[in-house]
Amino acid sequence: MKFQVNRDVLADAVAWAARVLPARPAVPVLAGLLLEAGDDLRVSAFDYDVSARADVEADVAEPGRVLIPGKVLAEITRSLPARPVEIVRSGSEAVLTCGSAEFGLITMPDEDFPAIPPMPPKVGAVGGGAFATAVGQVAAAASRDDTLPMLTGIRVDIEGTRMSMAATDRYRIAAAEFLWHPEREDAQHGVVVPARVLVEVARSLRGGEVAIGLGDNVAGFESQGRTTTVRLLDDQFIDYRSRLTSEWTIHADVEVGPFVEAVKRVVLVAERNAAVRLSFSQGQVLIQAGGGDIGRGAEVVEAELAGPDIQIAFQPHFLLDGLAGVETGRARLHMDSPTRPALITDEGEDPGFRYLVMSLRLG
């Protein structure tokens, strides 16, 4: 095997694929990156649950494949000078040359590397911007507790031309809905994808469309020469839609920017996990926190209230996560009583983003 490739192109592909390298691989070969030279160059990683493949242009003199320790290769390619990179397989070594720098890397047995799942059948495509926005809106509500795998995922529902995403950690539910381009307009799918994988896919998008594939308990995401496949979680999920469409007797509209900045300032004096209290009255909301050993803080921000005055409290970062998902300049808080959850949405009759958050008991 022998090929030459642009240094930046190689470093970018290696860094992208190396994201899925396991910290503690079940078998040693899973710590490697597989480089396959054919018409072009393919860089792959796999940990039995998630795979990543990047296809890049390269000048291939001799086709072949080699398995190289991934983290070392990522560190080397990141630090190389801005010169073309040549990699040649020579016996038990992969010799990497860039300018006057040369590295002889001991190869791993590529014949032991497991077969990577192919991209599942395509079910549709969506603009990268809409996909990344929706993932960003809901991922914060996914649980980090692996004892309940379902809650670490993002539920993806497809009904014709509409796609919905939702996540919950039992304390809040975040949901986003948007249009996409299905292969079949009568298609219906419901799957749960690990949130961390969707976040990585969204983070690495470089514009363009994302092709989505589903099949054999695997989801696939492909965009501009980069493909990620992931094993799906159990598709059982709470009936989140019914909880987001209740009747609310009170709503308040606030300017997102000033409201968020005020909340962040006031909670500087709050102890860890202490509540932020919101007192809504005509024309304003009083934001309060603290009162313990550190001190207290308060600030008033303009708000438009429809309904009676209300005082309600939230865990500060849960509140801020919900406000961060609002795409419009103004957010609407739907409330019913101090003891019931509140709903945060974009301002409008049919919001594409909804975020239900538990309230805290007022002390």
- Provide the CATH number for the domain around residue 266: 3.10.150.10
Domain shared by 160 and 91, yes or no: no
Average pLDDT of each block of 10 consecutive residues along the chain (363 residues)? Answer: 97 96 93 96 96 96 97 96 96 95 96 95 95 96 90 95 96 96 94 95 84 96 94 89 89 97 94 91 95 87 97 97 95 96 88 95 79
Residue 111 domain-assigned (yes or no): no
Domain shared by 321 and 221, yes or no: no
Domain count, the chain: 3
Q: Which of 183, 216, 241 corresponds to the end of one domain?
A: 241
pLDDT of residue 238: 85
- Look up tokens 């996409």; give the residue: 180
Q: Which of 206, 223, 241 corresponds to the end of one domain?
A: 241
Residue 170 domain-assigned (yes or no): yes
Domain shared by 29 and 61, yes or no: yes
Domain shared by 236 and 127, yes or no: yes
Amino acid 164 reads S
Domain shared by 164 and 139, yes or no: yes
Residue 116 domain-assigned (yes or no): no
Domain shared by 251 and 237, yes or no: no
Domain shared by 229 and 126, yes or no: yes
Answer whether 211's CB lies under 8 Å from 222's CB: yes
Domain shared by 97 and 136, yes or no: no
Residue 363 domain-assigned (yes or no): no
pLDDT of residue 270: 86
Domain shared by 129 and 72, yes or no: no
Domain shared by 262 and 222, yes or no: no
pLDDT of residue 207: 72
pLDDT of residue 358: 97
In the chain the first and final C-alpha atoms are separated, in Å, by 70
DSSP string, 229-262: EEEPBP-----HHHHTS---SEEEEEEHHHHHHH
Residue 231 domain-assigned (yes or no): yes
- Look up tokens 């710590």; give the residue: 31
pLDDT of residue 172: 97
| C-alpha distances in Å from residue 263, one per residue of 26, 150, 188, 290, 301 | 45, 31, 41, 12, 10
Write out the residue range of the structural domain in which residue 298 sits. Answer: 246-358
Q: Which of 241, 256, 271 corresponds to the end of one domain?
A: 241
pLDDT of residue 363: 65
**pTM (2 d.p.):** 0.91
The helix or strand, by DSSP H or E, that contains position 229, with its residue range, turns out to be strand 226-231
Domain shared by 219 and 300, yes or no: no
pLDDT of residue 206: 67
Domain shared by 102 and 182, yes or no: no
Residue 201 domain-assigned (yes or no): yes
Residue 115 domain-assigned (yes or no): no
Answer whether 228's CB lies under 8 Å from 201's CB: yes
Amino acid 31 reads A
Q: What is the largest CA-CA distance in the chain?
A: 79
pLDDT of residue 199: 95
Residue 72 domain-assigned (yes or no): yes
